[in-house]
Structure 1
Amino acid sequence: MNKRLIRHSFRLLNVDYVKLGNKWNFRNVISPYYRLYYIDEGEGVISGPNGSLSLIPGNLYLIPSFTLCNLYCEHFLSQYFVQFFEDSADGISLFSNCMESLQIEANTNDIANFKRLIAINPGRGINRSNDPMVYEKDIYYKEYTELNNLQSIAVQYETQGIIFQLISRFLKPEIFHKDKIIAKPSAVMDAIGYIQINLRTPLKVSHLADRANLNTDYFSRLFHRYTGQSPVNYILQKRIERAQYLIITSKKQQDEIAELTGFENVHYFSRVFKKLTGLTPGAYKTQNKTLNFID
């Protein structure tokens, strides 16, 4: 009997049906939340390091959190969409080994799920102002968090269940690469968990190795084998992911975000941020203020 527990849950941000035009044109998008689309009319493109996907009617598309992509619509595109944050017991994303935009053919249940999600979560669309300066993301994030808190327990469970159903459509072996994942040893899992909850503090590889009672060099090789990254690069990636979340969801200044994510100074923070995302922190904030505008 398979006794594996579901280790991931999702928090609704936005859900709506929208009609888009050629203003839906953004490069180097890296969002701290998932985007899931069902296209019913028109066409567009999602592109990224692994190629491009044509957005065409009748298909579902999933962009996991922190997945680099470009979004483009030349003429017209209408879509059902849902955006949501992910929580996991160990701090590892469900799609950590599948960081790319995904596409599958939709079925009638998918369409019904989108419509039902909108029906039980009214008022969860994004701002439709034509002026980017009035779209203060932190205000809207707090508003939607409060809306989640005000949901009845029945709506909370149904919302969670629908998101699980939509996510499950992308977990087929031919699409989802989870079957390639090798179970990580406890030393690596403990280090990952420790990093997640101590991002703002100094994190030394030697300390992580000591916690695992391992030689530093051996620990580093073991960590790289099971994560594909050195401990230092993994720490930097997680710090920048946390910084992206804070930039989008708060009004904190760059120096404060740098401190909260464990960087010694704002200049080093800005340099690493641009190296990993392709944008400066300021450019990233500006992009995300305009990203969800409706034509």
Structure 2
Amino acid sequence: MTKNKRLIKHSFQLLNVDYVKLGDKWNFRNVISPYYRLYYIDAGEGSVSGPDGSITLRPGYLYLIPSFTLCNLYCDHFLSQYFVQFFEDSVDSVSLFSNCRKSLEVKANENDVANFKRLIAINPGRGINRSNDPLVYEKDVYYKEYTELNNLQSISAQYETQGIILQLISKFLKPELFIKDRSVVKPSTVMDAIGHIQINIKTPLKISQLAARANLSTDYFSRLFHRYTGQSPVNYILQKRIERAQYLIITTKKQQEEIAELTGFDNVHYFSRVFKKMTGLTPGAYRLQNKTLNLID
């Protein structure tokens, strides 16, 4: 029963779903999306690569790229795929794949293919109509446009869409990938700290203050937080700040100084150092890739 309660803390909101045929122009580097990508390949070949290596996209398999996973997308000749892109919501603001930020592959079956076809049938017009380039279509105005479509769905379509995405996600929930998630339910003190961090990410956050909120000593709070999240409070805060910065760089024209301020860094140079350490790219390098394709007014 405890495990079931943990699973239903995560829900997923549809962004795009479609079937597409791609060519050698599907070559994009250093993609970091604030949403999940899930593919089923039915013909051709491509690849997804990242810090953990490269995966060949081949017919008959499902591929999952969790949110905020740095990757390169590549097709040398031809690739056709069913795909779905979706945002994640969770009660405790901790991603289901927080301990597994890498591209994953599993063998597909007939039910998986049927699920993709059904998802497209009940969500018509949800493809990417502007461009296959993430730097073009990953803009906040487009996110709002597509997520507003979810509010227009019938209640039955909403539940069925959610159910299909959960079924597809479940194929990747292998125990060996989630060893750190086998701990008991997080205590309220840790849950409160996680929520407080998410809500106040742009403000100064001191570990001593988080500990005081929990009526615990700083040392004990830090050990408790690490036990149930796998990270120290400092590293967790930095991760959440950088994830928010990634989103702002992808979707807005805000300058580094403003992004640093909005994500709780009091020094743009420190922000840049942390960003590069955690993503492998400087904010400026990633901004340069967006410069000619930024469509935000």
Give the TM-score of the pair, scaled to structure 2.
0.87
- Partners of 1:74 and 1:68 in 2: CA distance: 20
Aligned to 2:45: 43
Q: Once the two structures are superposed, what CA deviation does each residue of 1:76-119 show, in whole Å capped at 9, x if it has no partner?
A: 11111101000000001111122221111111111111111112
**Once the 2 structures are TM-superposed, how far is the Cα of residue 39 of structure 1 from its aligned partner?**
0.2
Q: Unaligned 5+ residue runs, structure 2?
A: none
Q: Secondary structure at the match of 1:62?
A: strand
2:128/2:137 contact within 8 Å kept: no
Q: Once the two structures are superposed, what CA deviation does each residue of 1:107-140 show, in whole Å capped at 9, x if it has no partner?
A: 1111111111112212211144489997572221
Letter in 1 for 2:234: V
- Partners of 1:47 and 1:133 in 2: CA distance: 18
Aligned to 2:150: 148
**Once the 2 structures are TM-superposed, how far is the Cα of residue 194 of structure 1 from its aligned partner?**
1.6
Return 270-279 or 282-291, whichever deviates more.
282-291
**Once the 2 structures are TM-superposed, how far is the Cα of residue 172 of structure 1 from its aligned partner?**
3.4
Return 98-107 or 240-249, whichever deviates more.
240-249
Aligned to 1:97: 99
Q: Secondary structure at the match of 1:53?
A: strand
| Residue of structure 1 aligned with 2:237, choices 230, 235, 246 | 235
Q: Secondary structure at the match of 1:52?
A: strand
Confirm whether residue 276 of structure 1 aligns to residue 278 of structure 2: yes
Q: Once the two structures are superposed, what CA deviation does each residue of 1:266-294 show, in whole Å capped at 9, x if it has no partner?
A: 44333322222222334435657899xxx
Confirm whether residue 181 of structure 1 aligns to residue 152 of structure 2: no
Return 259-268 or 108-117, whichever deviates more.
259-268
Q: 1:252/1:144 Cα in 2 relative to 1: closer, same or farther (>3 Å)? A: farther
Aligned to 2:171: 169
| Residue of structure 2 aligned with 1:210, choices 196, 209, 212 | 212
Confirm whether residue 29 of structure 1 aligns to residue 31 of structure 2: yes
Return 220-229 or 98-107, whichever deviates more.
220-229
**Once the 2 structures are TM-superposed, how far is the Cα of residue 254 of structure 1 from its aligned partner?**
3.7
Confirm whether residue 75 of structure 1 aligns to residue 77 of structure 2: yes
2:131/2:137 contact within 8 Å kept: yes
| Residue of structure 2 aligned with 1:264, choices 263, 266, 289 | 266
Aligned to 2:115: 113
How large is the Cα RMSD of the aligned pairs?
2.7
Misfit runs of 4+, over 6 Å: 130-134, 288-291
Return 123-132 or 91-100, whichever deviates more.
123-132
Aligned to 2:5: 4
Letter in 1 for 2:150: N
- Partners of 2:30 and 2:253 in 1: CA distance: 22
Identity of aligned residues (%): 81
Aligned to 2:202: 200
- Partners of 2:138 and 2:180 in 1: CA distance: 40
Q: 1:282/1:151 Cα in 2 relative to 1: closer, same or farther (>3 Å)? A: farther
1:8/1:87 contact within 8 Å kept: yes
- Partners of 1:59 and 1:30 in 2: CA distance: 22
- Partners of 2:151 and 2:291 in 1: CA distance: 24
1:28/1:277 contact within 8 Å kept: no
Q: 1:131/1:93 Cα in 2 relative to 1: closer, same or farther (>3 Å)? A: closer
